Amino acid sequence: MSVPLVDLKQQYLAIKDEILAAVANVFESTQFVLGNEVAAFEEEFASYCGARYGIAVNTGTSALHLALLAAGVGPEDEVITVPFTFVATTAAIVYCGARPVFVDIDPITYTMDPKLIEAAITPRTKAILPVHLYGHPADMHPILEIARRHGLTVIEDAAQAHGARYAGTPCGSLGDLACFSFYPGKNLGAYGEGGIVTTNNPEFVRTIRMLRDWGAETKYNHVLKGFNYRMEGVQGAILRVKLRYLEQWTEARGAVASQYRACLADCGLTLPTEAPNARHVFHVFPVLTRQRGEFMQALKERGIQTGIHYPIPVHLFPAYLDLNYKRGDFPVSECIAAQEVSLPMFPELTTAQVAQVTEAILETQNVYQY
């Protein structure tokens, strides 16, 4: 029996009738782009995050791009973020013509280290963009406190953190703006591309609604240089169905994580931590080992698929060498990038499958000295 890293098919089959009815409904209505289903989803998702407004877009990357533009980020500006993330976080800053300024991550939570932020602030800094990596919230209180003192906007990259919480507050309503992705493999995934910006600020809402639809204030009155970043009607309808299951699926991810944690406590791998004030939603279950190649190969031979999130931090990508960073600049990010392995993680994993993974790890532990 093999265990995949992620399996989207089982979940689809479990909700197939509801999904197909929702899709048929959109086709009948011919509201193929935006429309009532998207508007209803915006309200329901914002409410789920404890935010007043949601503006649905075509991808998580577009959500980041528009949130940055709404915050006034443009050429000559700087945005403080982390190099240990998916490339989209950095790309969105570059789309605005601004410069990404990296600070390293905390070695325990793998999210932005607030102690390093102040030294990175310059007169050009406009915003701080922390990432709730793997589904664990960034340490938002000190980040928000620094931002308030320096007059900076805080934008959450919550693409991996649907349903995560920090000190009881959901990700999506912690910063001035927050951005989610509904890429199929995310904790809440569309059957195609999708994203949303959440915020409590009506001015940001006005700007982002215009920017996602060609900058038009009213039809054919283009007051801003906008984009075609609209969400499709079918994705809104599918996401409304799936949102109703999200808590149940998040609980299931938590149960898988607990089983991993209990069985792997003493095996020598570094396991992910959940800060005392945090709810981790385990988009990824990351473990660290110095023997990554051997570890992944041993699991592969036992039918278990693993992944790496992410093997190279953004400051070392050829595409971003013009930012003039070099190896050694962000030692924690580089260290985690060299050691991280993602174990199978999705809500439908059975207790037996998780046991198969943990037994395979324990069986090979003495051979490889993880």
Ligand X SMILES: *Cc1c(COP(=O)(O)O)cnc(C)c1O
Residues 86-96: b if buried by 16+ CB within 10 A, e if exposed: bebbbbbbbbb
Residue with smaller CB distance to ligand X, 235 or 358: 235
Query: Per the structure block, which two tokens stand in for 116?
Result: 């390093």
Neighbours of 267 (CB within 10 A): 16
User: Minimum CB separation from ligand X for residue 287, in Å?
Assistant: 19
Residue 157 contacts ligand X per CB under 6 A = yes
Asked if 227 touches ligand X (CB under 6 A), the answer is no
CB distance 204 to 153 below 8 Å: no
DSSP state of 272: P
CA 55 centroid distance within chain: 17
Which member of 160, 333, 356, 358 binds ligand X (CB under 6 A)? 160
AA letter at 165: R
Stretch that binds ligand X, among 1-9, 55-63, 230-238, 316-324 (CB under 6 A): 55-63
Is 353 a residue that touches ligand X (CB under 6 A)? Answer: no
Q: Which of 195, 226, 233, 236 binds ligand X (CB under 6 A)?
A: 195
The reply to whether 181 sits near ligand X by the rule CB under 6 A is yes
- Which of 110/370 has CB closer to ligand X? 110
Q: How far is CA 276 from CA 114, 269, 280, in A?
A: 17, 21, 10
Residue 183 makes contact with ligand X by CB under 6 A: yes
Q: Output 314 or 360, the one with its CB closest to ligand X.
A: 314
- DSSP string computed for 54-75: EEEES-HHHHHHHHHHHTT--T
The nearer residue to ligand X, 204 or 310, going by C-beta atoms, is 310
Rounded to 5 degrees, what are φ and ψ at 54?
Answer: -135, 140
According to CB under 6 A, which residues from 309 to 338 bind ligand X?
none
Please identify which residue in 26, 46, 53, 59 interacts with ligand X, judged by CB under 6 A: 59
- Given the complex with ligand X, which of 86 and 325 has the nearer CB atom? 86
Cβ-based nearer residue to ligand X, 88 or 361:
88
Evaluate whether 336 touches 105 at the Cβ level (below 8 Å).
Answer: yes
CB of 78 to ligand X, least distance (A): 19
Binding of ligand X by 358 (CB under 6 A):
no
Among 131, 146, 197, 208, binds ligand X (CB under 6 A): 131
Whether 284 and 323 have beta carbons less than 8 Å apart is answered as: no
Tokens representing 352 are 């037996």
Tell me the one-letter amino acid at 110: Y
Q: Is 232 in the site for ligand X (CB under 6 A)?
A: no
* Residues at the contact surface with ligand X, assessed by CB under 6 A: 59-61, 85-86, 88-89, 131, 157, 159-160, 181, 183, 193, 195
